Amino acid sequence: MQASADAKIDALEGSVSRLKVQVDDLTRQNNDLNGIKGRLTQENFDLQHQVQELDAANAGLAKAKSQLQVQVDDLKRNLDDESRVKIIKLNSQGSLI
């Protein structure tokens, strides 16, 4: 009976030892994953900041494009007006001759 109890104790001590190794391994894996999570969280923050900067730059470019389009439209109108005036002058000069 003593031998049976000693065998059970040895088996349990072996199980405890294996479980301690597993706990240590899982703790190491958990620490590694927490480190990775921290790096990914920081990278995500940095990327979100870059997206915000790009959105702001995009909005600025869209505004500049709109302003330039207004200027182009104004210049086209001025050229059309000048062309009409020249045509009228030429027609009136031709009718004077």
pLDDT per position as a tens digit, 19-41: 999 999 999 999 999 999 999 99
Concatenating the DSSP letter of every residue in 20-65 gives: HHHHHHHHHHHHHHHHHHHHHHHHHHHHHHHHHHHHHHHHHHHHHH
Q: Give the separation between CA 18 and CA 10, rounded to whole angstroms.
A: 12
Q: Is the pTM of this model over 0.85?
A: no
With vertex at residue 42, the alpha carbon angle to CA 41 and CA 44, rounded to the nearest 5 degrees, is 65
Q: Give the separation between CA 46 and CA 87, rounded to whole angstroms.
A: 61
Is pLDDT above 80 for 95?
Answer: no
